[in-house]
């Protein structure tokens, strides 16, 4: 059905590192050969993606000489133009090189911190050259195995200093990036600073140019820790801070799996897609995931197609949910405000305060009511199973 075929207007993006993942894990070596950036751009465009995102070193090797860098970048730019692909987001690899083993922006060694900021300035230059509008900060190495090594207040303070420095650089260069902090609780560090969306939102309010900063939540990161990702995204939306999102699949309580979007917990993914669509979120729908290690290149493209198709199927299900008369009747009933209390609470005026003080509530009536959420959830399940 053509409605489930991805189009550029769906704003789907993948990282070069995602479809480019060669299946290395802590227990085994690569199982697929690496794909060139140009071939990834071509294939993703054919599949209907809007763009590709990258870390500096996904494209340009860390030790490339300036001339080599320029020729790689110009070949890549040509491929973007040839295949009508965008680079909406760029980021820095501050986790792979041994220099960052003790942290990057939060490292104890000020020279490591300075190098991390310099590397990010150069990666921001690269992203701007490719047209990126969002710049992601994922602090993969910003954490500890033992808190004997540093006071967490110093970690946070250094993080802030580095981000303030980079926001000033952004302003000076006129890049006008939207900066998105990506929280994660652990992996690769034992514990990572800013583990949750809420922690990142709190931290953002302490930055010099806090308006420029938002979040890049990832399904797997909250789910690993047993948290409700839909609630986290809801809070980010409410704060006007959902600048980007990383979609994937993950079982709770496991290692970082980064499965295909929709591979795990279809119901949670449905509520996520429903929320994104109903909120009017206009940013990229970025898949930060990779194919199972069992796959060859064909499986990689099955994986990429699957991420996008499942999103579109769930988007259609969200539409059906809105059209379903029985579901909507239950919702209407539980949200009804016949006596105007919702209005009263929304306006803390003196009149409303005294009105509320004078009100007599019947606790028994309030407590004896049934909400019909069993039926509502069953209807949702049946809708997702194609039975409605």
Give whole-number Cα distances, 263 to 228, 259, 330, in Å: 17, 6, 29
**344 Cβ partners below 8 Å, 6+ apart?**
352, 355, 356
Q: Which of 128, 166, 288, 380 binds Mn ion (CB under 5 A)?
A: 288
Out of ligand GCO, Mn ion, none, what residue 229 binds, judged by CB under 5 to 8 A for its kind, is none
Closest by CA to 273, choosing from 311, 231, 239, 222, is 311
Site string for ligand GCO, 240-259 (x = CB under 6 A): ------x---------x---
Q: Which of 10, 25, 55, 211 is labelled catalytic?
A: 55
State how far the Cα of 366 lies from the Cα of 382, in Å rounded to an integer.
30
DSSP single-letter state for residue 209: T
The residues, ordered by sequence, that sit 6+ positions from 133 with a Cβ below 8 Å of its Cβ are 88, 89, 176, 177, 178
Is 55 among the residues known to form the active site?
Answer: yes
Query: If binding is defined by CB under 5 A, does position 246 make contact with Mn ion?
Result: yes
> Using CB distances below 5 to 8 A depending on partner kind, what does residue 315 bind out of Mn ion, ligand GCO, none?
none
Q: Kindly state the smallest distance separating residue 221's Cβ from Mn ion, in Å.
A: 6
From the candidates 56, 58, 170, 246, give the one annotated as an active-site residue: 58
Q: Kindly report the length of the chain.
A: 388
Instruction: Give, as ranges, the residues between 276 and 335 that touch ligand GCO (CB under 6 A).
Output: 288
3-class DSSP assignment, residue 369: coil
Site for ligand GCO in 133-192 (CB under 6 A): 136, 138, 140, 182, 184
Number of residues interacting with Mn ion: please give it, by CB under 5 A: 3
Question: Residue 58 interacts with ligand GCO (CB under 6 A)?
Answer: no
Q: Can you say whether residue 262 is alpha, beta or left, with left for phi > 0 and alpha for psi between -120 and 50 degrees?
A: left
Q: Indicate if 288 belongs to the active site.
A: no
Nearest to 243 by CA among 174, 197, 305: 197
Shortest CB 310 distance to ligand GCO, Å: 19
Which of 218, 268, 300, 311 lies at the binding interface for ligand GCO (CB under 6 A)? 218
The residues assigned a catalytic role are 55, 58
Report the interface residues with ligand GCO, using CB under 6 A.
91, 136, 138, 140, 182, 184, 218, 246, 256, 288
């Amino acid at each position: 059905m053509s409605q489930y075929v991805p189009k550029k207007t769906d704003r789907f993006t993948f990282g070069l590192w995602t479809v480019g993942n060669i299946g290395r894990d802590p227990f085994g070596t690569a199982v697929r050969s690496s794909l060139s950036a140009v071939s990834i751009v071509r294939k993703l465009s054919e599949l209907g993606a809007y763009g590709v995102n990258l870390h500096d070193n996904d494209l340009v090797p860390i030790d490339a000489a300036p001339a080599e860098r320029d020729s790689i970048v110009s070949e890549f730019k040509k491929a973007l133009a040839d295949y009508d692909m965008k680079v909406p987001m760029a980021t820095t690899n501050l986790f792979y090189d041994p220099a960052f083993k003790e942290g990057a922006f939060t490292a104890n060694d000020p020279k490591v911190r300075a190098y991390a900021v310099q590397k990010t300035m150069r990666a921001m230059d690269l992203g701007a050259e490719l047209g990126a509008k969002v710049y992601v900060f994922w602090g993969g190495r910003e954490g500890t195995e033992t808190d004997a090594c540093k006071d967490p207040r110093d970690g946070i303070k250094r993080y802030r200093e580095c981000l303030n420095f980079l926001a000033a650089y952004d302003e000076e260069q006129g890049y006008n990036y939207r900066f998105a902090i990506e929280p994660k609780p652990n992996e690769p560090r034992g514990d990572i600073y800013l583990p949750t969306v809420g922690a990142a939102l709190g931290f953002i309010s302490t930055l010099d140019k806090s308006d420029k900063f938002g979040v890049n939540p990832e399904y797997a990161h909250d789910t690993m820790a047993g948290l409700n990702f839909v609630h986290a995204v809801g809070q980010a939306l409410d704060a006007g801070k959902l600048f980007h999102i990383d979609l994937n699949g993950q079982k709770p309580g496991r290692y970082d799996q980064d499965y295909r979007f929709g591979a795990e917990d279809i119901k949670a993914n449905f509520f996520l897609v429903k929320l994104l669509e109903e909120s009017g979120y206009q940013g990229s729908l970025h898949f930060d995931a990779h194919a199972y290690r069992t796959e060859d290149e064909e499986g990689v493209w099955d994986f990429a197609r699957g991420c996008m198709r499942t999103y579109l199927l769930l988007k259609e299900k969200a539409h059906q949910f809105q059209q379903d008369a029985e579901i909507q009747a239950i919702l209407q009933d539980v949200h009804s405000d016949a006596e105007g209390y919702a209005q009263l609470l929304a306006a803390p005026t003196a009149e409303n305060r005294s009105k509320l003080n004078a009100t007599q509530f019947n606790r028994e009536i309030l407590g004896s009511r049934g909400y019909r959420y069993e039926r509502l959830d069953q209807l949702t399940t049946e809708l997702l199973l194609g039975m409605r």
